[in-house]
């Protein structure tokens, strides 16, 4: 099992590398110039290139009598068409009916008054199209020769839906199940609480809860559809191999009869308030394996604000880019996280600034302090000319590349309409980016970042984080997983004095079969298997008293790695590359008792704390390598461990859960082992366990 974790570490290693490479960089180039005197001094930094001039292809825009706006961007290079319907209605509070919007999204496309769900899906599959619905429209991607038929089918589902009781109950049950799955999700809890607390009474602050969904009836969804799905503020965006004449004809044919709703004046939206003084809003998740951190305040920037380009670049330097302050400090310098990012939302109805990251529990308090330090840094210290110019050039390069995608032009046209922007907004965009100065960056940070009035949402284990946050001087309020005020949780307690590492291990030995049974086992072989991308991964471990050990990991029958210790020396081989054990590794293997290494904790472990989660109390023992071992205080079984590992200089926490103990030859073994990572979970199942059949020859 130890070797399998190493192989999985290699996968994580690749993931970390690929994450780093995904941050695209674009070098600015200047036209060749025969007069080289301007750059004769090789010690002089190259001058940044001027903002490139973009030849914007203006989209065709026209309206139907019912208010539907059509935005068309022709591109005949490929025989494909993308179409999206977007409805820009002012959000409203759904209160007890929150969840009807989620149900509408899942019900659209489940049949219309003219065609059943089965027939619709069969035709979409036949034409090889992609069609997706949401509660405010749809998206289509298809070959242009089938576009007429696909648009006809999709418009029919969207404008003339037939919601059946059967489909409603089915989708309602799916929604409830998905909410139940998210009950124990730390990221989901952090997001819910952030929205509720930061948005307050604003519609964006409403969260979907199981008890509310259970009371929703079909007529509630139908009412939400009637009030929300209308052409008054709707946009049909067409991109690809289609001309204006065809677009106009199809829009009139399939959307011309869409009934315009009566004009009503929406109630003023509630104001989004920042907190008077910075506070930590803590969500205690006792089973959290990572801590979610979200630093949040109201965002006061919109696309039509003259400061928008300044804020855009300021945020890029703070946390919007891979090389930003936040990411380079939290990830590259400290190795606490896979990534840290920040963003300024620009929704005209209300939005937030957020700085987010996910870190291992033991460094969560430090991560909060460092995050706030970086936010204050960009306010209090001017960025360098080089850093600003690099961000400008990168942004300009990416902007130019994006302009090659017709969908970008269509989205820009949509933004011009919904955000009330001038027609030449994007034509002058890069000139405004190029004009931003170092002083502008600091002024924007001071104007739009308010660290003294930010909420710091933390979802994690209070016992490992709260003491450090209190020491740092933060005011802490506690909330449940739905953002309701909660009492301060009972922190982890010290293990009672009468409970020792030896008594915990003795109880564990008794729980898995007893000392007499274990002492009779001189050798043990276990095989665990899992599936990854359709291939079976098999891990076989062999162990024999007093300290002999061998482990093989195969994928599809091919040997990936092996590790052997014969009692005196050994080696590790990964993909054909052999490496002998170091003296320290040899000493470690000599002192690890086999075939039950957990008994070695009596010598190497120390009682750390008591911890409660999932309704159970656990004794936590920490070994000499820093690995945490969790023993159920009631059953005595070891149910979890957390390994703290370094991959490419990054420290990560790797939780491993042991469950479904199964008795074989009088000894209980975990029939399922779940290795949890930031990338994916690997679930291994016990295939077989054999005792007392190995010899010294198995460790050569």
- Say which residue, 5 or 642, is predicted with more confidence: 642
How far apart, in whole angstroms, are the C-alpha atoms of residue 245 and residue 224?
34
Residue with tokens 């289609």: 242
**What are the tens digits of pLDDT across the range 130-161?**
999 999 999 999 999 999 999 999 999 999 99
Say how many CA atoms lie within 13 Å of 456 toward its Cβ. Answer: 26
In the chain, domain spans: 60-184+200-255, 274-406+421-479, 494-699
CB contact at 8 A, 201 and 270: yes
Q: What is the 3-state composition of the chain as percent helix, strand, coil, each rounded to the nearest 5?
A: 40, 30, 35
Please list, in sequence order, all residues whose beta carbon lies within 8 angstroms of the beta carbon of residue 565, skipping any fewer than 6 positions away: 547, 548, 549, 550, 581, 586, 589, 699
- At residue 616, the pLDDT reads 87
3-class DSSP state for residue 263?
A: coil
Cβ-based neighbours of 480, under 8 Å, separated by 6 or more: 283, 486
HSE-up (13 A, CA, CB side) for residue 113: 6
Confidence label for 15 from pLDDT (cuts 50, 70 and 90): very low
Residue 166 pLDDT > 80: yes
Mapped onto helix, strand or coil, the DSSP state of residue 35 is coil
Share above pLDDT 90 across residues of the chain, in percent, rounded to a whole number: 76
Distances in whole angstroms, Cα of residue 638 to Cα of each of 169, 465, 635, 686, 687: 41, 24, 9, 16, 20
- Bridge partners (DSSP) of residue 60 are 72
Q: Which two tokens stand for residue 381?
A: 């210290």
**What is the structure's pLDDT at 252?**
97
What is the C-alpha separation between 164 and 107, in angstroms, rounded?
9
- 231 closest CA partner among 186, 272, 263: 263
pLDDT band at 10 (very low <50, low <70, confident <90, very high): very low
CATH of domain 494-699: 2.50.20.10
Q: Which fold has domain 60-184+200-255?
A: Cytochrome Bc1 Complex; Chain A, domain 1 (3.30.830)
Residues contacting 481, CB < 8 A, separation 6+: 183, 189, 192, 193, 283, 285
Residue 567, classed as helix, strand or coil, is coil
CA distances from 344 to 350, 433, 627 (A): 11, 16, 39
Residues 6+ apart with CB under 8 A from 17: 648
Span 433-474, pLDDT tens digits: 999 999 999 999 999 999 999 999 999 989 889 989 999 999
Rounded Cα distance between 565 and 698, Å, is: 10
pLDDT of residue 680: 62
Class of domain 274-406+421-479: alpha beta
Residue 31 has pLDDT above 60, yes or no: no
Place of tokens 């298997």: 529
Q: Quote the pLDDT of residue 48.
A: 59
Q: CA 376, 378, 382: angle at the middle one, nearest 5?
A: 130
For the stretch 297-347, pLDDT in tens is 999 999 999 999 999 999 999 999 999 999 999 999 999 998 999 999 999
Residue 364 contacts residue 347 (beta carbons within 8 Å): no
Residue 572, strand partner residues: 563, 579
Please give the average per-residue pLDDT across 477-497, as a whole number.
89
Q: What is the distance between the alpha carbons of residues 88 and 600, in angstroms, rounded to a whole number?
A: 64
Laid out side by side, the sheet with 340-344 consists of 340-344, 352-360, 290-298, 455-460, 279-284, 475-479
pLDDT value at residue 56? 65
The set of residues, in sequence order, having a beta carbon less than 8 Å from that of 34 and lying 6+ positions away, is: none
Helix (H) or strand (E) holding 239: strand 234-240
CA geometry: angle 23, 25, 31, nearest 5 deg: 170
When the pLDDT of each residue in the chain is averaged and rounded to a whole number, the result is: 89
- 60-184+200-255 and 274-406+421-479 have identical folds: yes
Cα distance between residue 557 and residue 537, in whole Å: 8
Question: And the tokens for 611?
Answer: 């911890």
CA proximity to 528, closest of 689, 690, 691, 686:
686
Q: Which two tokens stand for residue 669?
A: 């073994």
| Nearby residues of 374 by Cβ (< 8 Å), 6 or more positions away | 318, 319, 325, 326, 329
Q: How buried is 384 (Cβ within 10 angstroms: 0-12 exposed, 13-18 middle, 19+ buried)?
A: exposed
What tokens were used for 545?
């008293």
What are the angstrom distances between the C-alpha of 408 and each of 143, 243, 403, 501? 20, 18, 6, 62
Confidence check: pLDDT of 16 > 60: no
């Amino acid at each position: 099992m130890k070797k399998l974790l190493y192989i999985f570490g290699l996968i994580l290693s690749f993931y970390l590398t690929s994450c780093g490479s995904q941050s695209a960089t674009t070098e600015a180039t200047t036209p060749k110039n025969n007069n080289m005197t301007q750059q004769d001094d090789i010690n002089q930094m190259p001058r940044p290139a001027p903002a490139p001039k973009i030849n914007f292809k203006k989209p065709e825009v026209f309206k139907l009598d019912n208010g539907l706006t059509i935005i068309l961007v022709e591109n005949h290079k490929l025989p494909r068409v993308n179409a999206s319907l977007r409805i820009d209605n002012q959000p409203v509070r759904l209160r007890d009916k929150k969840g009807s919007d989620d149900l509408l999204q899942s019900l659209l496309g489940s049949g219309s008054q003219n065609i059943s769900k089965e027939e619709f899906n069969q035709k979409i599959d036949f034409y090889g199209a992609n069609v997706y619905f949401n509660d405010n429209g749809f998206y289509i991607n298809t070959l242009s020769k089938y576009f007429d038929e696909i648009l006809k089918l999709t418009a029919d589902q969207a404008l003339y839906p037939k919601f059946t009781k059967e489909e409603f109950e089915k989708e309602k049950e799916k929604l409830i199940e998905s909410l139940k799955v998210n009950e124990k999700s730390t990221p989901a809890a952090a997001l819910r609480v952030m929205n509720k607390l930061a948005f307050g009474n604003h519609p964006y602050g409403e969260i979907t809860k199981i008890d509310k969904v259970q009371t929703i009836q079909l007529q509630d969804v139908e009412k939400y559809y009637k009030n929300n799905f209308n052409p008054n503020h709707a946009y049909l965006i067409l991109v690809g191999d289609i001309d204006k004449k065809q677009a106009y004809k199809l829009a009139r044919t399939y959307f011309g009869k869409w009934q315009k709703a009566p004009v009503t004046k929406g109630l003023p939206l509630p104001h989004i308030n920042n907190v008077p003084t910075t506070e930590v809003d803590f969500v205690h998740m006792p089973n959290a394996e990572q801590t979610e951190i979200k630093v949040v305040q109201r965002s006061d920037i919109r696309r039509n604000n003259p400061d928008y380009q300044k804020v855009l670049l300021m945020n890029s330097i703070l946390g919007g880019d891979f090389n930003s302050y936040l990411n380079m400090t939290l990830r590259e310098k400290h190795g606490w996280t896979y990534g840290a990012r920040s963003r300024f939302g620009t929704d005209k109805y209300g939005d937030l600034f957020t700085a987010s990251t996910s870190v291992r529990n033991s460094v969560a308090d430090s991560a909060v302090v460092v995050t706030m330090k970086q936010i204050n840094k960009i306010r209090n210290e001017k960025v360098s000319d080089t850093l600003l110019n690099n961000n400008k050039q990168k942004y300009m390069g990416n902007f130019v590349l994006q302009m090659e995608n017709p969908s970008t032009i269509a989205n820009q046209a949509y933004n011009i309409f919904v955000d009330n922007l001038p027609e030449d907004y994007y034509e002058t965009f890069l000139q405004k980016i190029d004009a931003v100065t170092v002083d502008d960056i600091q002024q924007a940070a001071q104007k739009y970042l308010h660290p003294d009035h930010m909420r710091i949402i933390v979802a994690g284990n209070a016992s490992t984080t709260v003491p450090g946050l209190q020491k740092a001087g933060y005011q802490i309020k506690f909330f449940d997983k739905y953002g309701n005020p909660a009492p301060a949780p009972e922190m982890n307690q010290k293990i009672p004095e009468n409970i020792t590492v030896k008594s915990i291990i003795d109880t564990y030995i008794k729980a898995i079969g007893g000392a007499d049974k274990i002492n009779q086992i001189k050798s043990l072989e276990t095989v665990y298997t899992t599936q990854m991308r359709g291939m079976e991964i098999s891990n076989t471990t062999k162990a024999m008293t007093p300290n002999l050990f061998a482990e093989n990991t195969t994928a599809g029958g091919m040997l990936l790695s092996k590790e052997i210790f014969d009692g005196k020396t050994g080696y590790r081989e990964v993909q054909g590359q052999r490496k002998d054990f170091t003296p320290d590794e040899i000493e470690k293997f000599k002192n690890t008792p086999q075939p039950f290494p957990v008994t070695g904790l009596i010598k190497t472990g120390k009682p750390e704390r008591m911890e409660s989660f999932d309704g159970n109390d656990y004794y936590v023992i920490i070994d000499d390598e820093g690995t945490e071992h969790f023993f159920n205080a009631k059953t005595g079984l070891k149910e979890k461990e957390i390994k703290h590992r370094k991959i490419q200089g990054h420290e990560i926490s790797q939780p491993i859960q042991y469950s479904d103990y199964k008795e074989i030859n009088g000894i209980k073994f975990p029939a399922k082992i779940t290795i949890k990572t930031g990338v994916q979970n690997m679930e291994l199942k016990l295939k077989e366990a054999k005792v007392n059949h190995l010899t010294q020859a198995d460790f050569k």
